[in-house]
Structure 1
């Protein structure tokens, strides 16, 4: 049994785990392992917002950012997904990953300039960029099975063996290396700077992001029907609550995404990604809110019924980032988009 925190990131703890040293989780889970030389990663979300996702303008925007990704300094991995937000707009989000901050820094100015910056020529759609570039001490991953990594784990050197810190409330925090010595509490206040149709959001310290996914590609008919009939509707209810009412519990924004192929066809994968005021706020929702209690109950019934025969794959990545590890910019987006929910007003540049 391994620790979720790799050996080179372990330090003398001043904050203790929620489990004793002899804790044995009831089922296996795994985490991504980067090479020790990787110090920082980049998670960059490029969004297109439109009333009609199939519009010519939306298609041109997606083609433009795809071309940017194909440049020499482009991301090592990217994927695309879509959802309908609380204002009824279609949003298509392409998330790109790097494990070389310098490479990203060289690539980003041109992409940003054309997406939300002064050289933007994408008429008829809103666009936004949401980027975190945490140190490897600032985030964690978890996978229910091996064989098909997602998100930042695609860039990893490999996967761990079975890890100890999971299957209990608090495991998410215990897997983040910084939690060995830090409370990871938020500090300061988010603010915004307006420049015409463009708004830049400067977040507070220790903002939290979760991307939590489901993959039922490998399921056979009976399991697929069980997931889509018994689990997914309960999951959607919880995701809709966070989308529409999450601000009341510290969730700035939630997107329940359907993963798509590059040509827009839906794939049998989904994920929720949400911005939270703090890791603690995310933990409170997960541990005690009725919407998540129902999700957890439906998932446990599903997994206990199928046991090891279950083909559903689950994963997540959770990041806590400082103010200087984030970039948020929105151009011609409605005021409930993403981290715009974290600010009450936008100061003029």
Structure 2
């Protein structure tokens, strides 16, 4: 049994774990491992927002973003997703991961990327666009997988997988998997702030984040699952999961959830794949933990997972949770409705 915190990220603890040293988890789970030279990663969520009649143009825009990922210094892993938000807008999101922030910045500043994003045509072609990017250090994110091959998300740009880890299966285990949790409570400082534009008026809006804003990606992959496991997912697991994700999307603001999107992976033609995940932005890890530990919508998800985990062999479940310094976040929106992403909760500075 290993610690989820890799050896090179260990340091003398000043904050205790949530369980005693003799704790043994009830089933095996694993975490991604990165070499010591990985100091920081970049997670970029690049969205296209549209109405149904604009689907062809939105697909073209998504394909352009996808093609840009193949440029020099593009991400080491990416996927494409779709969701319908609670304002009736459809959204494609291209999600890219870099293990080298310098490569990400070179990609971001390359002419095909910078010129396209900055083109005035983005403001007039009838689509919405957004970029939500965070760049956590190696001690500022954690992962958890119920499998060991073909890791999704940030796991794909890491270097390997652990053996069975100790820190899972109890409330607070996600915090305990963060290397920074050994010495830091990861408390938020500041508020979301509109620094240019006006969400109510559309156009281009830039939001400044704050320290320890928290991002969770929690996924399910039933591509290889047989009939029994698919039935287990769709009849047992998905209903409480969908209820919880819809609750956070519609009512999560009071709990500290800035944005919640339950998305399905798609191909370049927009066809749905048998993979889904949640994208949740929170004010803090503490706020996320409080919902997870006490709210009925998550308790139903958690108890269902514990009930069915023993019957899973091909259904792939995982998550990744990150915090980031405010200076390592980017939130930009072009012609998106004002409930999109961080715009809903961002404070507008007095004139």
Q: Tell me whether the two structures share a fold, i.e. TM-score over 0.5.
A: yes
Compute the TM-score of the two structures, normalised by the length of structure 2.
0.94
- Does residue 1:298 correspond to 2:301, yes or no? no
Equivalent residue pairs, number: 345
Distance 1:116 1:192, change over 3 A: farther
Aligned counterpart in structure 2 of residue 229 of structure 1, from 230, 235, 260: 235
Mapped partners of 2:272, 2:128: distance in 1 = 22
Contact 1:53 1:92 in 2 (8 A): no
255, 265, 277: which one aligns with 2:271: 265
Q: Tell which deviates more after alignment, 210-219 or 59-68.
A: 59-68
Partners of 1:4 and 1:163 within 8 A in 2:
yes
Counterpart for residue 289 of structure 1: 295
Question: Alpha-carbon deviations, 1:222-268, whole Å to 9, x = none?
Answer: 22112101210110010000001110100010000011123322111
Task: Compute the RMSD of aligned alpha carbons.
Answer: 1.7
In 1, Cα distance between equivalents of 2:240 and 2:252? 16
2:49 partner SS: strand
Conserved? CA contact 2:59–2:268, under 8 Å: no
- Whether the aligned pair in 1 keeps the contact of 2:136 and 2:328 (CA below 8 Å) is yes
**Residue of structure 1 equivalent to 2:102:** 102
SS in 2 for 1:168: coil
TM-score norm. by structure 1 comes to 0.95
> Do the aligned partners of 1:53 and 1:91 also contact (CA within 8 Å) in 2?
no
User: Equivalent residue of 2:347, what SS?
Assistant: coil
1:294 shift after superposition: 1.0
Q: Distance in 1 between matches of 2:146 and 2:54?
A: 35
Secondary structure of the residue aligned to 2:322 is: strand
Aligned counterpart in structure 2 of residue 326 of structure 1, from 319, 324, 329: 329
Matches within 5 A, 1:275-286: 275-286=281-292
Aligned to 1:128: 130
Give SS of 2:274's match: strand
Deviation of residue 60 (structure 1)? Answer: 2.1
Q: In the TM superposition, what is the alpha-carbon distance from 1:54 to its structure 2 partner?
A: 6.0
Quick one: distance in 2 between partners of 1:155 and 1:13? 28
2:209 is matched with 203
Q: Is the 8 A contact 2:219 2:278 kept in 1?
A: yes
Q: 1:183 aligns with which of 185, 188, 195?
A: 185
Query: Is the Cα–Cα contact under 8 Å of residues 192 and 347 in structure 1 kept in the other structure?
Result: no
Shift of 1:344: 3.4
Cα shift at 1:301: 2.2
Distance (whole Å) between structure 1 residues aligned to residue 59 and residue 43 of structure 2: 23
> CA–CA distance in 2 between the matches of 1:23 and 1:281?
25
Answer with 36-45 or 117-126: which moved more: 117-126
The CA deviation string for residues 122-172 of structure 1, in whole angstroms up to 9 with x for no partner, is 712100000011110100000011112000100111100111111111110
Partner of 1:78: 78
Of 166, 169, 172, the residue aligned with 2:168 is 166
Alignment of 1:113-124 (within 5 A): 113-114=114-115, 116-121=117-122, 123-124=125-126
Q: Are the equivalent residues in 1 in contact too, given 2:192–2:207 (CA < 8 A)?
A: yes
Following TM superposition, by how much is the alpha carbon of 1:40 offset from its aligned partner in structure 2, in angstroms? Answer: 0.7
Contact 1:113 1:120 in 2 (8 A): no
Secondary structure at the residue paired with 1:153?
helix
Q: Contact conserved, 2:41 with 2:100, CA < 8 A, in 1?
A: yes
**Structure 1 pair 53/171, CA: closer, same or farther in 2 (3 Å)?**
farther
- Residues 37-48 of structure 1 correspond to what in structure 2 (within 5 A)? 37-48=37-48
Aligned to 1:200, the other structure's residue is in SS state strand
CA separation in 2, counterparts of 1:99 and 1:160? 18
For 1:2 and 1:200, locate their aligned partners in 2 and report how far apart those are by CA, in whole Å.
42
Gaps of 5+ in 1: none
Give the aligned partner of residue 7 of structure 1. 7
Residue aligned with 2:68, SS? helix
Instruction: Look up the match of 1:25.
Output: 25
1:302 is displaced (CA, Å) by 2.1
Unpaired runs of 5+ in structure 2?
A: none
Is the contact made by 1:252 and 1:341 (CA closer than 8 Å) also made in structure 2? yes
